[in-house]
Structure 1
Amino acid sequence: MTVSYVVSGFAVGVLVGLTGVGGGSLMTPLLTLLFGIHPSVAVGTDLAFASATKTAGTFAHRFKGTVRWDIVRRLSYGALPAAVITTLLLKHFGAVSDGISLVIRYSIAISVFLTVIALLFKSKLQTWLNAHPERQLQGLDLSRATILAGAVLGTLVTISSIGAGAVGATLLVLLYPRLSPAEVAGTDIAYAVPLTAIAAFGHWWLGSIDWSLLGALLLGSVPGITIGSFAARAVPEKFLRGLLAITLTSVALKLIW
């Protein structure tokens, strides 16, 4: 079974490197559906996985100067308290109970659907907003909306481990359409580091992290992400995103039905 986990980590790593979509959108449903791992354990393990990989990514983006720390701070004001409150609610209702398991399963499905929408419409939304500057938020309204977006993402990520990738990047594009693609990616990864770390710590407290599974996934994903990143230029982006959208939609439907 360990070999299967390593291979799965490698496959997800390649797809993440090729498409830039967060691993949680792929890894958590994979662990739940293919390996039959309890949803809360799949979420907790993936959060620890994401915390490790996104930390490395943040250092790279910081070195390139593509992190907007003012936006990271606003997102964190909403995301970090939301992660703590959500963890306490999971503890109160029982993170491994059948009822919470069903809630987590549906939350994963909703998060995957949001990822699909983000994949398909992010660039169109950015183009439309740049063509209509009067629709863009400014000043205090923008700050409040960013904090609220952080709170939504913090809740979503803690429950499902999904949302800090494509969904987070899409929200950044909606709120800050003038950010460059590199700044969107760097800022999205940077705020996700403390968020996934706190959420992972919460799941460790809840007892829903499988450390041997985490090690196997990391063993496969690191070379997978590297290979996928190098191969990304050779594969048409539209084809990849279309294939990924179809795959994720099928996964979300399977989670529900």
Structure 2
Amino acid sequence: MPDQLDQVQHSPVRQAPTALLAIGLTSGLLSGLFGVGGGVLIVPALVLLAGFGQKLAHGTSLAAVVPISITGAIGYAVDGSVNWMVAALLAAGSMAGAVLGTWLLHVLPVRWLRYGFAAVLLFTAIRLGFETPQRLGEVELGVGGAALMLALGLLVGTLSGMFGVGGGIIMVPAMILLFGISDVVAKGTSLLVVIPTGIIATVQNLKRGNTDLRSATILGLAGVVSAYGGVLLALLLPPRLSVVLFAALLAFTAYRMLRAKSD
């Protein structure tokens, strides 16, 4: 018998622009501040506050994070906080992973997606809670490091396509923990990688009817307004405070997503 949670609203939800603008502004700020595309907030907000079905929220989020990430990446690049080689390696893997992830989004039950999304958020929150980032210089990658970056990109792209997030919630901690990259460089690099990944995933989602372009446009334009402010704030905040706030946000969002299963 089909999973009842698969019977979600799958057509575009015509919400008042005010609600979408508020979600976009908040997401843009958090995107710039934490180096994520913004989907970490957009997806649950669309589901819990705007009445979107889970799959439609994922696809709409991915379309919205593209302009938001472009703005944030430019802000970090102006500050010199982007590792272009790392970004190229991650992007190569993530673009391939995005195709796989959007296919999985189309075929997997919604219940799996919700559990999986919450699990990713909780794992990231717990790990970040134990981390004290150091703002060190960039690192040089050998052959092994480059291969690991490609594999990380593949994983990020797959998760991005499935969960509607830009992948920064995986990339930023991984770059800090596995490669010793500065937290601000990790954020700027992450946002740069989100751009091609989001474009590829959005094209795939449009083919499958998993994107509301009207809502994505409103979300994205609102996020562009606040994203650069988030970048400036990230450069001012102590790194420890930044990751603690991010971990708290992820934990709360995961909690709300799990509660929504029985609401």
Given that 1:51 and 1:197 are in contact with CA atoms closer than 8 Å, whether structure 2 keeps it comes out as: yes
What CA distance in whole angstroms lies between the structure 2 residues aligned with 1:143 and 1:239?
Answer: 29
The Cα of 1:36 is off from its aligned counterpart by 2.3
Instruction: Tell me, yes or no, if structure 1 residue 76 matches structure 2 residue 91.
Output: yes
Counterpart pick for 1:45 among 60, 67, 88: 60
1:1-257 correspondence runs (5 A): 1-17=16-32, 19-91=34-106, 93=107, 100-123=109-132, 139-162=142-165, 164-177=167-180, 179-226=181-228, 233=236, 237=242, 240-241=245-246, 243-255=248-260, 257=262
Unmatched tracts of structure 1, length 5 or more: 94-98, 131-135
Q: For 1:165, give the aligned amino acid.
A: G
Given that 2:33 and 2:230 are in contact with CA atoms closer than 8 Å, whether structure 1 keeps it comes out as: yes
What CA distance in whole angstroms lies between the structure 2 residues aligned with 1:74 and 1:234?
Answer: 28
What CA distance in whole angstroms lies between the structure 2 residues aligned with 1:59 and 1:17?
Answer: 10
Q: Cα 1:182–1:202, aligned 2, differ >3 Å: closer, same or farther? A: same
Q: Which has the higher helix share?
A: 1
What CA distance in whole angstroms lies between the structure 1 residues aligned with 2:75 and 2:33?
Answer: 18
What CA distance in whole angstroms lies between the structure 1 residues aligned with 2:183 and 2:229?
Answer: 21
Higher relative contact order (CA 8 A, sep 6+): 1
Q: Cα 1:37–1:241, aligned 2, differ >3 Å: closer, same or farther? A: same
Q: Cα 1:50–1:163, aligned 2, differ >3 Å: closer, same or farther? A: closer
Q: For 1:223, give the aligned amino acid.
A: V
What CA distance in whole angstroms lies between the structure 2 residues aligned with 1:26 and 1:87?
Answer: 19
Residue by residue, what CA displacement relative to the aligned partner does 1:116-144 show, whole Å, maximum 9, x if unpaired? 235323436x69xx9xxxxx997332222
Q: For 1:6, give the aligned amino acid.
A: L
Instruction: Give the share of equivalent positions with the same residue, in percent.
Output: 27
Given that 1:104 and 1:160 are in contact with CA atoms closer than 8 Å, whether structure 2 keeps it comes out as: yes
Given that 1:118 and 1:167 are in contact with CA atoms closer than 8 Å, whether structure 2 keeps it comes out as: no
The count of corresponding residues between Structure 1 and Structure 2 is 242
The Cα of 1:47 is off from its aligned counterpart by 0.5
Q: RMSD over aligned Cα, in angstroms?
A: 3.2
The Cα of 1:245 is off from its aligned counterpart by 4.4
What is the TM-score with the length of structure 2 in the denominator?
0.77
Unmatched tracts of structure 2, length 5 or more: 1-15
The runs of at least 4 aligned residues of structure 1 exceeding 6 Å deviation read none
The Cα of 1:243 is off from its aligned counterpart by 4.2
Q: For 2:175, give the aligned amino acid.
A: L
